[in-house]
A and B are shown apart, each in its own frame.
Chain A
Amino acid sequence: EVQLVESGGGLVRPGGSLRLSCVASGIRFDSYSMNWVRQAPGKGLEWISYISSSSGTRYYAESVKGRFTISRDNAKNSLYLEMNSLRDKDTAVYYCATFGDDSFDFWGRGTLVTVSS
């Protein structure tokens, strides 16, 4: 059974930083490209970042470019999202998701990030 478990969310002040993690099991992690997708309260889903299986290619949505950094450690079956200069609008549940067949095929349950003073 595929499992993705996110962690690292919490309450942070505007301008602060946070590092999210996602641990995968039940899949050959180093064969999958990975993504972060978020959902603000009462809003829809928003794709924010992609990383290829070897970390050679990374993409970001304009809303987070320059502030967020995606990375992974295939030896630890882990995906990360380093978030800096956080804003109120970054408040959301953050999901990690595998990428295959032009879609996001497996997802975690998410971790909540709240940016508030």
Chain B
Amino acid sequence: QSALTQPRSVSGSPGQSVSISCTGTRNDVGFYNYVSWYQHHPGKAPKLLIYDVTKRPSGVPDRFSGSKSGNTASLTISGLQAEDEADYYCCSYAGTYTFTYVFGTGTKVTFL
């Protein structure tokens, strides 16, 4: 199972919006609405931001939003803040015949 493809890095100014793409195939992102997104500050526990493509867990700011079109999912961060500088990973269910999840290659979000 190949990793989902994400841009290596994206940059933005404080207050701007940035979007991160996550490209898979018709066997994972394109077929299942089980795409999730995680924020990871190195050395800390990863944090769930989005699940089931668009849903936010309790406590996650509405600055974070998710969407999907075809084989590509996207995470948008609106009103970029200092604490948003981190690594972001998408993830999709890919288990046609068994339980399998595949993560993205990861995207580093930095300030310009």
Contacts and interface: CB of A to CB of B under 8 A. Distances in A.
B95 to A, nearest CB: 8
B4 to A, nearest CB: 9
Nearest to B32: A102
B78 to A, nearest CB: 21
| Interface bin, chain B | 20 to 34
Contact of A107 (B1, B34, B45): B45
| Interface bin, chain A | 20 to 34
B104 interface: yes
Interface stretch (B13-21, B47-55, B69-77): B47-55
Interface string A20-48: 00000000000000000100000011110
Contacts of B101: 47, 104
Contact of A47 (B45, B52, B100): B100
A51 to B, nearest CB: 10
A59 B89 contact: no
A62 to B, nearest CB: 8
A80 interface: no
Given A44-B3, A44-B103, A104 B47 contact: no
Interface of A: 4, 37, 44-47, 50, 57, 59, 61-62, 95, 97, 101-110
Interface of B: 1, 3, 34, 36, 38, 43-48, 51-52, 55, 57, 89, 91, 93, 98-106
28 contacts: A37-B103, A44-B103, A44-B105, A45-B103, A47-B103, A57-B99, A59-B98, A59-B99, A61-B1, A61-B100, A101-B51, A101-B55, A102-B34, A102-B51, A102-B93, A103-B34, A103-B36, A103-B91, A104-B38, A104-B48, A104-B101, A105-B51, A105-B57, A106-B45, A106-B48, A107-B47, A109-B43, A109-B44
